[in-house]
Structure 1
Amino acid sequence: MGSATREALSNSRSALAGLGGKAQLATGEQLLAAGRVLGTSFQLRAALADPSGDRDAKLSIVNAVFASIDASARELLGVIATNVWSSEDDLLAGVEEIGIRVLAQSAPSSDIEAELFAFGAVVQSDSQLELAVGSKLGSDESKAALIERLLGAKASKQSVAIVSHLVQQPRGRRIGELLRFATSVVADEAGLAVATVTTASAISAEQLTRLTAALSANYGRGLRINHVIDPSLVGGVRVQLGDEVIDGSVASRLNELRLQLA
C-alpha cells in the first residue's frame, strides 16, 4: 500500500467517524454499489483516481453520476474521490472498505464476523459452490441471486450485502481471501482483530476463553476468535492472525523432525 493510499484511507475513515455512528444499511449498500459502477467504467474510474484532477470537478462528477444515492453515501464517496490514491484499484478498495465499515456500524448487534467466517467454511468444503461464486463465467446477477438464496434467511442483511458485493467485484481475489479481508475490516471497525485458532479436537469454552485472554494480552488488543477443528494437526494449537502464524501443532513438529532427518 502506497503512502498516498494510506493517507486517503485515513481521511476516509475519519469522514466515516464524522457521521457520529449514524451509519445506515442503505448507505453501506449504496457505497458498495457505487464501487461496482466505478469498477465497470474505465473513464469514470480514471477521472476520480487522477491524482492531478481538480477537487471540485471530482465532486461534480460524484454528485452528477450518483445523484440517486443518499446524502451520507454521496458525502463519503465525495471524500474518497477527492483524496489522492496510489492507483485506480486502491480507489476501488477504498470504496469497498468504507462501505463494509458502514455496514458493520449499522449492525452493532449482529455477529457479522461469525457469519462471514461460517460462510467461508461452507465454501471451502464445497468445491462446486466455490466455483459457482468465484467463476468469471457467471453473471453478477446470478451470483447475487445465489448469495441471497444461500444466506438471505440465515444471516444479517449486512452480511448478505457484503458477500454479494465481494462475489460481484472480486478484483482478482479468491473467495477465501475476500471473506478474510471483509472479516478483518468488520472486526477492526469494532476495535478488534480476528484470530483463527485451529485445534485437533474440540476444546471447552473455558479453555477458549483463557486462550483468547492470553492472545489478546500478547497482541495488545481485543481479539475475535474463530475456532476450527482439524484432526490432521494430531494435537497442539495453530493460531493465525493476519499474515502471522503461530504453529504449535504436533503435526508441525513432526514435519520439522522429518525435514531434519532428511
Structure 2
Amino acid sequence: MAGVSSESLANALADLETKLPTASLSLADELFGILRIVDSSAGLRRALTDPSREGAEKSALVERLLAGKVSSDASQIASHLATLRWADSRDISDALETLAATVAIAVAEQGNGEAVGLGGLERLENDLFAFNRRVEDSHELQAALSEPQATADAKRTLALRLAVGASDEALLLIGQAAAEPRGLKPTELVKRFAALAAKRQERWIAEVAVARPLSETQLDRLQAGLNGLYGRELKMTTTVDPQLLGGVRVAVGDEVLDASTLARLADLRQQLAGQAG
C-alpha cells in the first residue's frame, strides 16, 4: 500500500488510537466480520472507494449496511475508512484487516494482570511464532490449511487446535489467518500480524545513545525520567557514542529526542548532570 492509500491508512490508525485504551477483543472480531462483508462484494468495494462520490455519501452507505449488526465503535471505524481516499478498491479491505489486527494487538498490550504492556505484546508475538513453527515443520499441516476444498470453519478449527494454550488475542489472529488468508498462506498472514505486534512493541522500548558510559545511578535516573515522560514502564537499551552531540539521544518508537535540540529532555540532562552527586 503506497501513496494516497498509505496516507489514508495512517489517518485511520491515528483515529483508531483514541479508541484503543478501552477497546475489547470483540471490536477486533467485529472489524474482521466487516472485512468479510467488504471482501465478499467487488461492487461494494468499488462503491466505497469511488473518488467521484462524496465521503459523507460513502460513510452513510456503510452505516446503513452495518446498522444493528455491529457496535457503534465498529461502525464508526468502518464509516471513517469510507470517507478516506484509496488508490485501489482492495486497499480499503487491507486497511480493515490492519485495523482489526491492531485492535487485537492493543488488547494484548492492555494485558490481563500478568502480561501487561511489553510483556503482553511479547507473549502475543511468541504465540504467533509458535503456531508458525508448528505449521512450517509439517507438510501435512501446510497442505491441510491450504486445501481448497476445506471450509473456512474447518481450517479455523484446525488452526485453533494447533494453538492450544495461546492467548485469546493470538487465537483470534491465528483463526483469522487460517480461515481468511486473503490470497496469502496462513503462516504469511500470521507473520504480518506478528510484524504489527513488533511495531507496537517499539512504543515500549527506549533506545538510548549516550556520549559516555553511565553509572547504575545515572541509568536509574534516566529510566525514571523516561518512564515519567512517556507515562509507562519502558524497556531501556543503551549504547555509547563518543561523537554524540548533546550527550544523550533517545528513540522511542518513531520518536527521536535529541538533548541538543529538544527541550523535553532538559530535565533528563539535569539528572545526568547530577551524576557526581
TM-score of the superposition, structure 1-length normalised?
0.70
Identify unmatched segments of 5+ residues in structure 2.
112-119, 205-235, 242-250, 254-277
| Shift in Å, 1:49 | 2.0
Query: Contact conserved, 1:5 with 1:90, CA < 8 A, in 2?
Result: yes
Counterpart of 1:21 in structure 2 is 21
Query: Contact conserved, 1:33 with 1:165, CA < 8 A, in 2?
Result: no
| Shift in Å, 1:221 | 5.9
Query: Contact conserved, 2:5 with 2:85, CA < 8 A, in 1?
Result: yes
The one-letter amino acid of 2:21's match is G
Counterpart of 1:250 in structure 2 is none
Counterpart of 1:64 in structure 2 is 64
Match 2:190 to one of 179, 182, 185: 179
Identify unmatched segments of 5+ residues in structure 1.
194-211, 223-262
- Mark the CA change 1:180 to 1:32 in structure 2 (over 3 Å): closer, same or farther: same
- Mark the CA change 1:160 to 1:86 in structure 2 (over 3 Å): closer, same or farther: same
Counterpart of 1:100 in structure 2 is 101
Structure 1: how far apart are the matches of 2:137 and 2:175? 19
| Cα deviation 1:90-136 (Å, max 9, x = unaligned) | 11110000100101111223321111011011110011111212233
- Mark the CA change 1:167 to 1:53 in structure 2 (over 3 Å): closer, same or farther: farther
Query: Contact conserved, 2:177 with 2:187, CA < 8 A, in 1?
Result: no
- Mark the CA change 1:70 to 1:140 in structure 2 (over 3 Å): closer, same or farther: same
Match 1:163 to one of 166, 169, 174: 174
Identify the range of structure 1 (24-33 vs 135-144) with the bigger mean alpha-carbon deviation: 135-144
| Shift in Å, 1:13 | 0.6
| Cα deviation 1:171-201 (Å, max 9, x = unaligned) | 22123321211101122233369xxxxxxxx
Counterpart of 1:48 in structure 2 is 48
Counterpart of 2:199 in structure 1 is 188
Equivalence map 1:100-119=2 (5 Å) = 100-108=101-109, 109=111, 110=120, 111-119=123-131
The one-letter amino acid of 2:132's match is G
Q: What is the percentage of aligned positions where both structures have the same residue?
A: 25
- Mark the CA change 1:213 to 1:134 in structure 2 (over 3 Å): closer, same or farther: farther
Are residues 1:5 and 2:5 paired? yes
How many residues end up aligned between the 2 structures? 202
SS at match of 2:22: coil
Query: Contact conserved, 2:20 with 2:106, CA < 8 A, in 1?
Result: no
Structure 2: how far apart are the matches of 1:191 and 1:97? 17
Are residues 1:141 and 2:153 paired? yes
Structure 1: how far apart are the matches of 2:238 and 2:200? 22
Question: Larger relative contact order (C-alpha < 8 A, sep ≥ 6)?
Answer: 1
The one-letter amino acid of 2:131's match is F
Structure 1 stretches of at least 4 aligned residues deviating more than 3 Å after TM superposition: 212-215
TM-score of the superposition, structure 2-length normalised?
0.66
Give the root-mean-square deviation of aligned CA atoms.
2.6
Query: Contact conserved, 2:131 with 2:162, CA < 8 A, in 1?
Result: no
